[in-house]
Structure 1
Amino acid sequence: MKTKSTIFCILLFFNCFSQKSETESEKSKRQNGLIVTYVKNCAEKYNYNFEMNEWQDCLNEGLKKDSTVAYFWQQKAMPYFKAKKYEVGMKYLDKAVLLDAQRWQPYRAFIKCIFQKSYNESIADFKDCINKWGNQYEMDHTYKFYIAICYLQLNNFNEAEFLLKEYIDNMLKKNGEEWVHPTALFYHGISLYEQKKYDEAISIFDKALKIYKNFSDVKIYKAVCMARLGKNNADVMNLLKEGKEDAKLGYSINEDNIIYETYPYQKKWRD
């Protein structure tokens, strides 16, 4: 592995040296042209689910022209993550981060959290991003939101509760109750549920259902909280039934990458 990394760094150095006379504007224009040629007009003509070799061949041709285009490395990585070949994809994504950390390090931290499920590594990556660039957004949520998800998965429920409450409070102050993300409310409720704060969890789950009335996962965990509190069994069973029916209709966690990965605490039902 060290030998391969050394070779990559040497090639990167000579590539940069040979292009040292370029201005940043000229470099950006040239690299954008390469992206159009080898991604838009080549790789994207293929379906990487069935034509992975052709997809990769296009990107490899682009890398022959310029191995410092971070987007080429990220595009090599992306379909492997969707195919659950995480270690294969990560070796390419690491190269994208080396070339353009501000753009691709948060994405790598997200992949480690939601796809690869390397929670401690994800936390370390996101914390480094926060130190460098502040608590920005990746895939519709803040870096601290994903840190909270990692904490949930590591059973650090109190830390998760704190970060999720902070995230929700910031959304409330900025845009109002209607713009609070139901996924954030769901996970905040989960952090309370895991600490046996069932009444508080139900209160948060109700807020999520006010925004997203068919949120199946929320209904299921709310029903569990109700059962823990000794609520009317018929009410509990009715809510569970609603949650199961909503889940079958696809009303679950509403995130773009849900088609590739099951999110933490998401419930899937089978007949």
Structure 2
Amino acid sequence: MRFLLLLLLPMAAIAQYREFGGTPATARQDSIMTVHLKGGAWKYSYLTPEWTQHIDAGLRADSTIAYLWQQKAMPLFKMRKHDLAMEYLDKAVQYDAHWLDYRAFMKCIFAKQYRSALQDFAAARAAKGNASVMDHTYDLWSAVCHLQLNESDSALRLLQAQIKEHDAKGWTHHLDLYYLGIAYYETGRYPEALAAFDRAIAKYSQFSDAYFYKGKCLGQLGRNEEGLRVIRQGKVFYEKGYSINEDNSIYETYPYQVAWRWKSVK
């Protein structure tokens, strides 16, 4: 399955080009990107030297094209060469602030630079409001950063406000509810955490990670046998391949994604 995803990467890159505003500033830059991305790098897997060679050729022609810097950085993040990748992504942001929220996301999920990610999200929010990057709002990702910094109260405030707003519009996502449950769990509010995990499971019935933390909540409430049954149910779903199902979860473990291989639940 992962091999198939690598083969499909050029198609994903083209979609990304459109999503992130690949329209360059000048006709010359448009030509450079057409030659070196569509006619070059995107014909190969990002694991090949040809990918980087074509992008480097484009940057030699014009080193101010932000999207070329992002495309140079992206494979390195997926190969977990985060320090090097961030140097190139910083160049993308230098030439086009449009990439600021993407850099914030990469700091949050890939590079684990949570304080720096919060700074980028705050700057992006000041410019765009609580917009979205990688399918979720700045406030969700900011809440994840706060959780990773043991700032659970700050995470809880962001998630409560967002879910109240999204509930009114019918937009609430199971990942929002999962991290809300985590924030309640981290602050010792187990009944509220249990309710959040139940809502997450109602939206994604095989959500193994939510079952695990639901079971932990039940244990904290003195319902140990029930909690163990729920955790075992979650492990069954995990063994069938169900977990956090974000696009980038094939490359990086998300915060509070359960490492079931270390759990002796039978």
Q: TM-score range by the shorter chain?
A: 0.7 to 0.9
Matched, 1:206 2:204: no
- 2:172 & 2:129 partners in 1: Cα distance? 21
Aligned residue number for residue 134 of structure 1: 129
| Correspondent of 2:40 among 39, 42, 54 | 42
Structure 2 unaligned spans of 5+: 1-22
User: Which residue of the other structure, out of 221, 238, 260, is the alignment partner of 2:229?
Assistant: 238
- Counterparts of 1:123-162 in structure 2, within 5 Å, are 123-162=118-157
Alignment of 1:111-260 (within 5 A): 111-174=106-169, 176=170, 179-231=171-223, 233=225, 235-260=226-251
Amino acid at match of 2:120: D
Aligned-pair identity (%):
46
CA distance, structure 2, for counterparts of residue 137 and residue 125 of structure 1:
13
What SS class does the counterpart of residue 254 from structure 2 fall into? coil
Which residue of structure 2 lines up, in the alignment, with residue 72 of structure 1? 68
Q: What is the CA-CA distance between 1:130 and the residue it aligns to?
A: 1.3
Q: 1:254 is paired with a residue of what secondary structure?
A: coil
Deviates further, 183-192 or 223-232:
223-232
In structure 1, how many angstroms separate the alpha carbons of the residues matched to 2:71 and 2:252? 19
What TM-score does the superposition give when structure 2 sets the normalisation length?
Answer: 0.87
Contact 2:143 2:155 in 1 (8 A): yes
1:89 maps to 2:78: no
1:59 is matched with: 55
Indicate conservation of the 8 Å contact 2:174/2:200, yes or no: yes
* Structure 1 gap ranges (5+): 1-24
* DSSP 3-state at the match of 1:38: helix
CA contact 1:183–1:254 (8 Å) conserved in 2 = no
Q: What RMSD, in angstroms, separates the aligned Cα atoms of the two structures?
A: 1.5
Provide the rounded CA distance (Å) in 2 between the counterparts of 1:30 and 1:170. Answer: 44
Equivalent residues of 1:80, 1:86 under 8 A apart:
yes
Distance 2:241 2:28 in 1: 44
Secondary structure, aligned partner of 2:26: helix
SS in 1 for 2:232: helix
| Aligned residue pair count | 240
**More deviation in 116-125 or 247-256?**
247-256
* TM-aligned CA deviation for residue 75 of structure 1: 0.5
